[in-house]
Structure 1
Amino acid sequence: MRSVVFTADFSSAHQWVAGRSRAYPDGGPTNTGDNKLDHLTADPEYSRTGTFRARRRADGLWDTGLLTTEESAEGFMVRSGDRLDTTVRLPTAPGAWPAIWTWRDGGNEVDVFEYHPDNPDLLELSNHVRRGYTYVRDAAVRPGGVVDLSVTFGARSVIWELNGRQVFADGRGVGSRWRAHLIVNLSVCAGRYHPTPDPDVTEMSYAVTSLVVHRPRGVLQEPEGEEPLQAC
């Protein structure tokens, strides 16, 4: 049995910090070394409604929306054994790079999904903790399509479901002590692996309409640096 331990309210400054992350050099605002044209912004119009936007700047970069639980007042982290459920509406413009992922100190990244409209029916699913990854093709995955995704961060296997159907179990897992903050964002590709946006495209977006984390009952939220506690 599981209990809901986190329900995303993207408008909440208590839950989410906007426009910066230690996943970016010096916390941002740019990350060109990762083939991104992002210039992170804390402007609520870019993320706080659950629609994550990117808009072209005059300097060739793009103002982009990013939210993270890192350094928020609540400081929520997903943990080994948790399941994350989310519903997203995918972007349509080539060059868009939406993702939901985890981050803590560089060794805790799991990608709930990444998507690139130039591969219209393909999702990228990755466990960077223990190098488990795959590409999933499905007719439900398409530019502008709405998909339900579930990820269980198992100690021995991370399991992904798409629209209620299991599509990948990596058989590697994250280990029993794993934990990490959540990041939800829209990046823009710089052209190394995926095309940059067409010259006439000035804005892109995708929407996250729900994001909920469930935890096995009896596992409590423990202080930093301690092992999970079991309820009596």
Structure 2
Amino acid sequence: MVAGSLIAGMVLLTGVGHHASAVVQQDELNLEQMALSFEEDFDTLDVSAWGPGTRWIAHTPWSGDFGGARFSDPREGFPFSIEDGILRIEARRDDEGEWQSGLLASVDPRGDGFAQQYGYFEMRARLPDGPGVWPAFWLIGKDRSKATAEIDILEYYGDKPGGYSSVVHVWHRDGRHSSQYNRNEVFGPGADAPGAFNTYGVRVDRDWIRVYFNRRFVWKTETQPEHRQPLYILLNLALVDGPTKDATPDPSHMFVDYVRAYRLD
């Protein structure tokens, strides 16, 4: 997400990790062995454009927009709204025909907010339909002085509705970029459809980054040194910056029931 995960030709794929067919006991998720450290149930929404003092800000802390929609400052009813404990993120065209949408980050530009080294991070959400939509749930390391450590727990492309992508990036300041990628072909009819509420999670420890769908293990890859630091949370409804954007439903919506994090006690 930081520098455009769509540009596959510029990515050095250093491995695709281990898949669900090789599940062992260590890969199974047991929340009883963890302690809740962050809980956002969206009964209300504490957000500002840049902080300080709010739980969320509405931009990446480094001021980096990406994709085919600009992330909007929050205002009444847009791009965020709350109903019955569900967050709705809306993407729509403005009066000039330009796309606007929403992003939430749990750390502000000064580094204040929620971040955690290691643990399990989870979002329960319904994803939008249609070409061009690009919702995501992801983590960024707080220390970006030498490299940006990124974990894309969920990247979903509306024109590929059979599954979603999980990607672990290291973006070095000298221009080098390493990436581990997996396509999670998990969606089906009914309860497992992208338009149903599902959980998307990642467990990070010193050795492994493990991805879960509805708390079922789907993939893991080795933890890189750059990811052994506090990570903060981002979620957004972006649009692909390409021809599919012209066919994107206007408006489009992403619905989020909760975002939670757990410590590995």
Whether 1:67 aligns to 2:104 is yes
| Contact 1:86/1:210 (<8 A) preserved | yes
C-alpha distance 132-144 of structure 1, shift in aligned 2 (>3 A): same
Show the 5 A alignment for 1:202-213: 202-213=250-261
| Cα distance, 1:96 vs structure 2 | 1.1
**Do the aligned residues in 1 keep the contact of 2:150 with 2:227 (CA within 8 Å)?**
no
Match of 1:124 among 165, 168, 173: 165
Whichever residue aligns with residue 21 of structure 1, its letter is T
Paired residues in the alignment total: 205
User: Structure 2 CA distance, aligned partners of 1:94 and 1:176?
Assistant: 32
Aligned equivalent of 1:157: 208
Task: Kindly state the Cα deviation for residue 36 of structure 1 after the two structures are TM-superposed.
Answer: 2.4
Cα shift at 1:57: 1.8
Amino acid at match of 1:71: D
Distance 1:55 1:67 in 2: 17
Change (3 A) 1:175 1:107: closer
CA shift digits 1:35-93 (9 cap, x unpaired): 423242322532352211111123342111111112189611132x2101221101112
**Distance in structure 2 (CA, Å) of the matches to 1:215 and 1:187:** 29
CA separation of 1:160/1:143 partners in 2, compared to 1, >3 Å: closer, same or farther? closer
More off after superposition, 46-55 vs 155-164: 46-55
Alignment equivalent of 1:109, drawn from 150, 160, 166: 150
Contact 2:67 2:238 in 1 (8 A): no
For residues 83-131 of structure 1, what are the alpha-carbon distances to aligned partners after superposition, in whole Å with 9 as ceiling and x for unaligned? 0122110111221111111224361211110101100012110111362
Structure 1 vs Structure 2: percent identity of aligned residues?
22
The question of whether the paired residues in 1 share the 8 Å contact of 2:41 and 2:257 is answered with no
Contact 1:93–1:117 (CA under 8 A) maintained in structure 2: yes
Cα offset, 1:142, TM superposition: 3.7
CA contact (8 A) 1:9 1:15 kept: no
Q: 1:137 aligns with which of 164, 181, 185?
A: 185
Does the aligned pair in 2 maintain the 1:55–1:62 contact within 8 Å?
A: yes
Of 245, 250, 258 in structure 2, the residue corresponding to residue 196 of structure 1 is: 245
Unpaired segments of 5 or more residues in structure 1?
A: 218-232
Task: Determine which structure has the larger helix proportion and give its number.
Answer: 2
SS at match of 1:78: coil
CA distance in structure 1 between the partners assigned to 2:46 and 2:169 by the alignment: 29
- TM-score, normalised relative to structure 2: 0.69
Distance 1:155 1:131, change over 3 A: farther
Letter in 1 for 2:233: L
**Aligned residue in 2 for 1:3:** 35
Structure 1 distance, partners of 2:216, 2:123, is 14
Deviation per residue, 1:139-164 (Å, 9 max, x gap): 34544132112210122211011123
CA–CA distance in structure 2, aligned partners of residues 76 and 123 of structure 1: 26
Normalization by structure 1: what TM-score?
A: 0.78
Say yes or no: does 1:85 pair with 2:150: no
Q: CA deviation at 1:6?
A: 0.3
